[in-house]
Structure 1
Amino acid sequence: MAAAAAALPGGLRAPPAGLGAGGRPEPVEGSECLFVVLGAGFTALSHPLLYVKLLIQVGHEPLPPIIGRNMLGKKVLYLPGFFTYARHIVEVDGKMGLFRGLAPRILSSTLSTVTRGTVKKVFPVEDMEHVSNKDDVKTSLRKVMKETSHEMLMQCMSRVISHPLHVISMRCMVQFVGREVKYSGVFSSIGRIFKEEGILGFFVGLVPHILGDVVFLWCCNILAHFINTYAVDDNFNQASVIRSYTKFVMGIAVSMLTYPFLLVGDLMAVNNCGLHAGLPPYSPVFTSWVQCWRHLSAQGQLFRGSSLLFRRVSAAARFPID
């Protein structure tokens, strides 16, 4: 039961690249290359979404809110959605501006995929017992926990290996806020971070990201297992179909609950790095990710950036409505 792990726009997560179903033979080398190519393509296509989301996460709102109406007809203030925000970026930086920070992000995604493939070869999925309808409750739960531990190992390893490039990508993107050019290339950025922050500078924000991944994997897998075991009747004609979608639905629900970990991790990656987006007034200088979490919680901003379309102005930042 491989759980979803890769971050998608809005905080959702998708199945990790290159992870096959239980018992499926290891992909040949050509297939692994195909996974990498497809992953890079998806990363490029989704990059504008992640770019806009990151700018919203750091609190950059270059456009004023507009007055709209909710379903009850009451006047409310809405912040610009993805399309309006993306249009603003194009007006400032041109169409290619939507792909700022793409190169290190593709490298990060590729490293993650390769790491997963390596871990799968060292700890083959075929060596594990997979859940069967013939298993009793105790046996099936044991197998689920074992499979989840295997997926957690792959996810944590890939996260650690790819995180330095994730940090570089985040910093390249948030330079839009202050119009800086401090991080312009992968190699120059590596040298700058190492010189200014040391080796630990490549791993800022790693802990909340890993915690979010672990909580997501275990909650998603365990909840899906219990729902499939106790809520889905084997006598129902479409029981197998329902079970196949349970994990997907659980993934969407759990990803929203674990979104604050993603937000805090991204904010810590750019905090106090010399860029406007990581300094006051956009953000206080945090000494730890726990302090960042507490600050966002006190401000009611733990889910900032989780929505890219209908973005209502928060109660903490109300404007008068004429």
Structure 2
Amino acid sequence: MADTCGQVLLGSGLTVLSHPLMYIKVLVQVGHEPLPPSLGRNLFGRQVYQLPGLFAYAKHIIKIDGKAGLFNGLAPRLCAGTIGTLVHSRVLQVGLTNTQKAEEGSLQHVVNETTKEMIARSCATIVTHPFHVITLRCMVHSICVYTIYSHVILYNMGLIPRLLGDVLSLWICNMLAHLINTYAIDDSVSQMDLGFCHLFTGPMQFFASMLTYPFVLVSNLMAVNDCGLAGGLPPYASIYPTWVDCWRHLSLEGNMSRGNSLFFRKLPVGKTYAIDQKRFF
């Protein structure tokens, strides 16, 4: 119980610290561009037109809504994090009674542990998904004119791509870790220096998140799609019957990585933006 409370407190603290970053990322994902492109330099020193980066975007939000504006949608996100941690911990404690015993470090052991973690994460995601949708809509509501919220079941909005992204990311990360520990690291090193092995965890998680980012983007767009907010309605956004239609549309536009980078945001070729210096779209 003490461990779970510690996880909740730590998770809540990290959520508060990272919330402005997530808020700006979500606004970029839904296509909100309140600032015009500016002339800057890319990584090779060449002059190019770039969309506003993280700090410019944050300054604009502070100018319009104050520093508190960077924390729109924080309350439901904290609820989602707390409930998700409790559900995740409880499911792991219950465990799987029919799990086959396997030698630690073997492929079967990795599969068993990853399956347990997958089930725990999926349960937490399903339970907290309504709070996740509310969080995203609070964020979009802060910069959108709205009409009337559509009374739909929140579970229907972006849950499937979110689950698929979480599951794929988990399996990619764990299987890469197993391959590296098995074939790239000497047995004596892996047994004597676990910290050395854990150095690969961060890069592998980053690599997995990059591969599964399109699922995150599609899930977030579907959470606000056709919900009554201007940001989820034409002309600012297309209406997608299903998340597959959203995926196809983004693929055709070449926008599957929109919002993935908040520092070097290159202006897409042939893309024009209806820039509005007000807070709304």
TM-score by length of 1: 0.78
Q: 1:75-94 to 2 correspondence within 5 Å?
A: 75-94=47-66
Shift of 1:315: 2.4
The 1:34/1:243 distance shift into structure 2, 3 A limit, reads closer
For residue 219 of structure 2, what is the amino acid of its counterpart? G
Distance 1:57 1:261 in 2: 12
How many residue pairs get aligned? The number is 271
Higher mean C-alpha displacement, 173-182 vs 259-268: 173-182
- For 1:55 and 1:128, the matched residues in 2 are separated by 45
Say whether 1:59 aligns with 2:25.
no
Corresponding residue number in structure 2 for 1:258: 212
Whether the 8 Å contact between 2:129 and 2:154 is mirrored in structure 1 is no
Verify the 8 A CA contact 2:58 2:70 in the aligned structure 1.
Answer: yes
Alpha-carbon distance between aligned partners in 2 of 1:270 and 1:289, rounded to the nearest angstrom: 12
Q: Conserved in 2, the CA contact under 8 Å of 1:299 and 1:316?
A: no
1:318, CA displacement in angstroms?
Answer: 6.6
The 1:300/1:317 distance shift into structure 2, 3 A limit, reads same
Rounded to whole Å, the distance in 1 between the matches of 2:196 and 2:7 is 28
Matches within 5 A, 1:1-322: 29-123=1-95, 132=104, 140-180=106-146, 196-197=151-152, 200-234=153-187, 240-317=194-271
Identity of aligned residues (%): 46
Alignment root-mean-square deviation, CA: 2.3
Classify 1:240/1:201 alpha carbon distance in 2 versus 1 (closer, same or farther; 3 Å): closer
Aligned 8 A contact 1:219 1:254 in 2: yes
Give the drift of 1:79.
Answer: 0.9
- Please give the secondary structure, in 1, of the residue aligned with 2:48: strand
SS at match of 2:203: helix
> Are 1:177 and 1:276, in contact at CA under 8 Å, matched by a contact in 2?
no
Structure 1, residues 169-208: CA drift from partner, whole Å, max 9, x if none?
10010012324497xxxxxxxxx66xx22xx333310000
Indicate the SS of the match to 2:165: helix
Question: Gaps spanning 5+ residues in structure 1: where?
Answer: 1-28, 134-139, 183-191
Give runs of ≥4 in structure 1 deviating > 6 Å.
none
**After alignment, is 68-77 or 301-310 more displaced?**
68-77
The answer to whether the 8 Å contact 1:296/1:302 transfers is yes
Alpha-carbon separation, structure 1, partners of 2:235 and 2:173: 37
1:214 partner amino acid: V
SS in 2 for 1:267: helix
Distance in 1 (alpha carbons) for counterparts of 2:7 and 2:43:
43
Relative to structure 1, the CA distance from residue 122 to residue 301 in structure 2 (aligned partners, 3 Å threshold; closer, same or farther) is same
Extract unaligned runs of 5+ from structure 2: 274-281
SS state at 1:317 partner: coil
d(CA) in 1 for partners of 2:41, 2:54: 18
Q: Is the 8 A contact 1:233 1:239 kept in 2?
A: no
Measure the CA separation in 2 of the matches of 1:71 and 1:288. 38
Deviation of residue 285 (structure 1)?
A: 0.4
* TM, length-normalised to structure 2: 0.89
Equivalent-residue separation in structure 1 for 2:18 and 2:100 (angstroms):
34
Alpha carbons of structure 1 residues 86 and 181: separation in structure 2 relative to 1, 3 Å: farther
For 1:149 and 1:287, how far apart are their aligned partners in 2? 31
Deviation sequence 1:183-242 (CA, Å, 0-9, x none): xxxxxxxxx66xx22xx3333100000000111111111121112111222355986444
Between the aligned partners of 1:33 and 1:111, the Cα distance in structure 2 is 11
Q: Distance in 1 between matches of 2:58 and 2:100?
A: 46
Question: Residues of 1 paired with 2:159 and 2:45: CA distance?
Answer: 43
Q: Distance in 1 between matches of 2:259 and 2:57?
A: 12
More displaced stretch, 310-319 vs 264-273:
310-319
